[in-house]
Every structure is written in C-alpha cells, then in structure tokens.
Structure 1
Amino acid sequence: MKILILSTPVGTLSSGIGGGVELTIYNLIQEMQRRNHLVKVVAPKGSYLQNADIVGIEGNLHIPAQTQTRDIPTVMPQNSVLGNMWEYARQVQSDYDVLVNFAFDWLPFYLTPFFQSSIAHFISMGSLSDSLDHGMTQTAQKYPLNFGVYTKSQANTFPFANVCECLGSGIDLSLYQFRESPDKKLAWLGRIAPEKALEDAVKASEITQIPLLIFGKIQDEQYWHSIVTQHHQAPIEYKGFLSTIDLQRELGYCQALLMTPRWVEAFGNVAIEALACGVPVISYARGGPAEIIDDCKTGFLVTPDSIEGLVTAINRLPEINRHDCRRSAEQEYSLTTWGDRFELWLKRICSE
C-alpha cells in the first residue's frame, strides 16, 4: 500500500508535545515500511523522526483539546497548520491508497466525504469535546469501518463506540533491555500537565521516601512549578524528555512505574515501555492502563485518585515477578502483533 500519515497539529514530531501519539506514529512508520509499504508523513514544519519521509508544513499550531473545556466551540487558528496539511493531502491524495489521520480535531472528520481517497481515523484520546464528538459521530455513521482506537475503555467514551476498531499499540521490543534487579527508586513518565496528576505520584514518593524519577515534556510550566514548590521535601528528580534508548536505560532500574491519570487515558504507551524493561506498573484503574496491567501479576490497579492505594501497591512490589512483565510485553505488544492488526484494518478500508 501507499500510505499518507497526517500527524497531530499540536506540535512538531519529536517535540514531546503530542505525547504518546508521537511514539505511535513513529512505530507505525517503521512497521509499515518493514512490510514494504510506502509511507510518507505530513506534519508541522520542524518535525523529525528517524528513517521517516516527512513533508513539513508551515502554519500555526492548534491548542491541545485536553487543555480546553468540553463546551468550547469549534475553532481554527489563523493560517492553521492543520488546514494547510489537509490542503496538501487534497492535492496529492490520488498518489496514495489510504490517508491515516492522527489529528484529534474536527477538520479531518468534516473533510472525509469531500475526499476521493479513503481516510482512516486513528483516535488518540477519549472524549473531550461535545462539538468534536458530534462531528465524529456524523462521520462514523457514514464511514463505520474507518474509526480506530487504542482500547475499549477509550471507545466507550464516544457515542459511536460500537463501530470503533480496537487496535491497541506496540513497540520495538529490541530497543528495551530487561532488568531483573532494580534500584530503590520509582518512575513517572508522561506529559507534565494537570490531567496526568503528577502530584499524586509525588505525594506517594514523599510518603514512602522512595526517590521518584520524573521523565517527560514539561507542557505546563506553572503546574510543574507548583508541584516543586508544594512538595519541596519530596525525593524527586526531573530527568527530562529522553530518547527511547536513554529512557529505557534509566527506566529499567526502577522498581515500578506510577501512572496517575486524572482522565480516561486512551492507552498508555509508557505502560508497555515499562513492562518491556521488566518494570511493574502501578496505575489508577481508569482507562487504557486497566486493560494493559494484569492486576497483581504485572503490576497493581488501584482506586482512582487514591494516594493511599498507590502507597499500598508500592509496598507490595516484592510480590511481582519482573519476568512476567517482560513476557506480557512480548506476547501482547510487539510491533509485529500490532502491525498485523493495523495493516488488516487499513486493507479493509481500502477495499471498500
């Protein structure tokens, strides 16, 4: 197949602003190319991914949906990078068998009936906007095969859950080294923004006095500053936004990864990255992580928003066999397994 991927309009690829969707796009490119498909990516100018053919598009970035309220009206910035990306796609669509949309934005869904080429919509978040839900539902009614999501938990936040293809995710396991013996430290990984509730993990670290290594893009500087100020005695260390190789090297030596989402996490690529290193995952039983973690075997699912639950789970970490964590990643989340599902979905869409 000839595949044109249209990226998120909230930031350049490799900036970290797009969160887990950046890793998903990178892994999709690598796996589809390995299968001898031709893949090109359209993304905001300045984007970079190794071994990827990227067309950089000028324009103003969009505001991430998770930073806005549910009732916000449908808007576009002046000289929208998303509008410019899809104008490029309109011009070249006949060169491709399928277009894959990764933008969590109204425009690609609205444009779907006006394109001659098939558009596969991969939705990277749960429901966040009433107006976007309405637009997606209208498109899903006309194109019920064209909607893909990570998990059932994510799909169930939308009115059109019954037509969503649950595709999961996958990673290149060869990049993640298994560590059998960790140091006495914990990890937290993700975009540093209010919906990720980093402060809960910091509180758990403060109570247990186990050092917490924090990895990821600081998306909300004020939020980060407030955490550092309010928990100045907590044993935390910010490690930055690292490459996969550097991240897994640090992550593998941690006793556990803490996941503390305040919202319904669509999936949680960070969870399978941790498991690939043999690192158990302690997460709120909310959204995608609840479908990834085998409770009491590859980690612990705790009552959402319960600091006490996090602390209890941390104290139970000796019960977990880290080999089970790695096995889970190998059996469920390899790029080959995920690529089979994604490829089949795209071929079904192309055949319609």
Structure 2
Amino acid sequence: MSGPLRIALVASARFPIREPFAGGLEAHTWSLARALTVRGHRVELFAAPGSDPDLDVTELPVHRPKLSTAARSDVSMPDDTWMEEHHAYLRLMLDLAQDGGRRFDVVHNNSLHYLPLAMAPAVPAPVVTTLHTPPTPWLESAIQTHRDRSVTFTAVSERTASAWRPLVAASRVIRNGIDTALWPEGEGGGYLVWSGRIVPEKGPHLAAEAARKAGRPLRLAGPIGDADYFATHVAPLLDDDITYVGHLARRDLARLVGGAAAALVTPRWDEPYGLVVAEALSCGTPVCGFDRGALGEILTDECGLLAPPEDAGALAELIDATTRLDRRAARERARRFCSLDAMADRYASLYQELAA
C-alpha cells in the first residue's frame, strides 16, 4: 500500500499531549503526530483531555465508569484515577475491535497501559506497540496472552530491545527523534542545567550534589512528579546557586538548555532512551551523565562524558571536561542521530509495510 495512511495513535490517558509536557513520552507522541500529519497522513490521536487542539484529538477517557456504592465499598477497589484510566482504554479497545479495520490502516500504541497490548489481537487492523520502558509486570503479562504475532513491536533503543528480548524476540529499534529546529543551538554560559520529571528515578538530587562538588551553579527544570521526594531530597539542596526554575514551556526550556555550559543527566533506572539528552545535544550543550540505560548509545566522547551510576562525586569530576567539549559536535550528533525526520520516516515505512 502506498499513499496517505489513516493512523490511530494511542497515547497517555493520564497526561495531556501538549506543552509543557509531563515527560518525554508525551513530548515524543506530540512530535510524532505532527510529523506524520506534515507527511500527509491522517492521524487521529487518542489522548488525555486537554491535549493540543491543533492535533486531531479524540479525548480519553471516552467514558468514566459509573460504579455502585457496593462496588466502591469493596476492599479491592482501586483509586479513581486507576479506574478511569482502565475504563478509558477498555472502551477505546472495544471500539477499535468493532470498527478499527474500517476506520484505520494501522493502530500505533504509545501508551504504557496493558489493555491496548492485551486486546490488540481483537483489532482488525495491524497494531504496532512501541516499548518505551524497561519490562513491567503489567505489560509482560499482556504479552504472554498472545498466541500469535498479532502485534509488531518497536523499541526506542537497543538497550530497551535487549531488555525485552526474553519475551519479545524481535523488535525493530526506532529511536526517538526531536525537531532540531525547535531546539536551536545556544551559545552556552556559566551554569549547568538539569531537566526532566522530578521523581526519584531521574535523580535530580544527585545532579545538585555533583554541581555543588564541582562549584558550579545549577538550574533544575521540570514538573514535580513526586512532591514528597522534592520536599525531602531536592528542596533542602536549593539556594542561590542550585535553583529550581519550574516547569517550562518548550521554547523557554530550549533557551535555558542552550544557555548552559553542560547538561547533567542522572538516571537511577535503566533509562530507555533519554529525550533530554537529545534535546541538550540539539542545543549544542554537551552532556555529563550516568552510564545507565541507553545514554551510551546516544553520546560519543565528542559530545558527552559518562560516570558510574549513582556516583555524584565521579560525575562532578567530569563536569569541567564536559564543558570544554565542542558545542558544534554536540549539535551535529543531534542532527545525525536524533532526527525527528528519520524517526517519522521509519515509522511511516513500517506502517506502509504492515498496511500492505
């Protein structure tokens, strides 16, 4: 099959797909939807309420469940957010099972929920699921319900593909891409920057400790995903040199990252890709990070240096050398390795193959 495709893009029901993004997954889905639309495909995005109105969005949750008093009093009753998300995907997948083959040429699941994966065999259209995280029990369970190759898997990095290989023997690696025009090259400056969701697995407190040891000011930016963690581990480290600047829109964040001498990236989990790395490189800002997950796939010695995981002291020792790396080499690495165009073209090619 050739020509424009009708694509259902399944996104997060928890966070809207709009700026400022809740995280890398939301930023990725927004970029992919826009890039596919620019290529002439008809993209319908199934996403949380409040998503970007410039996209063709069908809001999730489609319907909220109306639960009886008896059901709500059951000891196994989960919280309302869990139930709403579960019901949203259940309704969506039942709708796609009924008429997805008539409405779409391909369904691309970018959610982290188990139902779009578990119910994929019922959809009369090819289904692609992108593996955005290391293995989780919910997704592993969903995969094990499949008796045939009813889902085509992609992974955002070689590291992620390898982690899933015991259950997913073959997944195509299509790395996340960014629009380098939206992350322009900056001139750098005297401060360091850390950006991302402020949660324990991203380790911003370790970035603050490393910056302090190196004697460098640090700007922290991103949504506070775990208020207790922020209050206990991050807020006590803030002062005139280590500052939290808030959850910034993309343009303001790009300006902040481009004005930094280096970006600190401090994953405490096996980072499946690391969109903040690509964003920093696009801004010409070299990266100093922990050698965890896929960071080593993105960075070269010309644009970034890596320390052992969890070692803020070792990270601090690499900061000065990182700030001396060539900013043009960082920008070129982003253009060659982290291209949104390359990502969108590869997904479009896969869709065409499956639709045929």
- Return the TM-score normalized by structure 1: 0.88
Q: Which amino acid aligns with 1:218?
A: I
> Does structure 2 conserve the Cα–Cα contact (< 8 Å) formed by 1:209 and 1:234?
no
Counterparts of 2:232 and 2:153, CA distance in 1:
38
Is 1:53 matched with 2:61?
no
Deviation at 1:310, TM superposition (A): 0.8
Counterparts of 2:151 and 2:60, CA distance in 1:
29
2:27 aligned residue: 23
Deviation at 1:150, TM superposition (A): 0.4
Question: C-alpha deviations, 1:132-170, integer Å up to 9, x for none?
Answer: 21322443x622761011001112222234311100011
2:222 aligned residue: 216
The unaligned stretches of length 5 or more in structure 2 are 66-77
1:2 aligned residue: 6
Task: Tell me how large the CA RMSD over aligned residues is.
Answer: 2.3
Counterparts of 1:126 and 1:17, CA distance in 2:
21
1:338 aligned to which of 328, 340, 343: 343
1:157 aligned residue: 163
1:273 aligned to which of 269, 272, 279: 279
Question: C-alpha deviations, 1:19-44, integer Å up to 9, x for none?
Answer: 11111111111111111111110112
Q: Specify the SS of the correspondent of 1:257.
A: strand
Q: Specify the SS of the correspondent of 1:12.
A: coil
Deviation at 1:250, TM superposition (A): 1.2
2:322 aligned residue: 317
Counterparts of 2:243 and 2:310, CA distance in 1:
22
Share of identical aligned residues, percent?
25
> Does structure 1 conserve the Cα–Cα contact (< 8 Å) formed by 2:280 and 2:286?
yes
Counterparts of 1:279 and 1:87, CA distance in 2:
46
Counterparts of 2:230 and 2:52, CA distance in 1:
27
Question: C-alpha deviations, 1:238-284, integer Å up to 9, x for none?
Answer: 12222221111111010111111111111111111110110001121
Deviation at 1:92, TM superposition (A): 4.4
Question: C-alpha deviations, 1:290-341, integer Å up to 9, x for none?
Answer: 11011x2111111111112211110212441010000111112222211221
Deviation at 1:183, TM superposition (A): 1.5
Question: C-alpha deviations, 1:92-123, integer Å up to 9, x for none?
Answer: 41211011111112211110111111111112
> Does structure 1 conserve the Cα–Cα contact (< 8 Å) formed by 2:262 and 2:323?
no
Deviation at 1:81, TM superposition (A): 2.4
Q: Which amino acid aligns with 1:125?
A: T
The unaligned stretches of length 5 or more in structure 1 are 62-73
Q: Specify the SS of the correspondent of 2:209.
A: helix
Q: Which moved more, 1:275-284 or 1:156-165?
A: 156-165
1:83 aligned residue: 90
1:146 aligned residue: 152
1:95 aligned to which of 90, 103, 107: 103
Paired residue total: 334
1:109 aligned to which of 114, 117, 129: 117
> Does structure 2 conserve the Cα–Cα contact (< 8 Å) formed by 1:17 and 1:191?
no
Give the greater-gyration-radius structure (CA).
Answer: 2
Is 1:187 matched with 2:193?
yes
Q: Specify the SS of the correspondent of 1:279.
A: coil
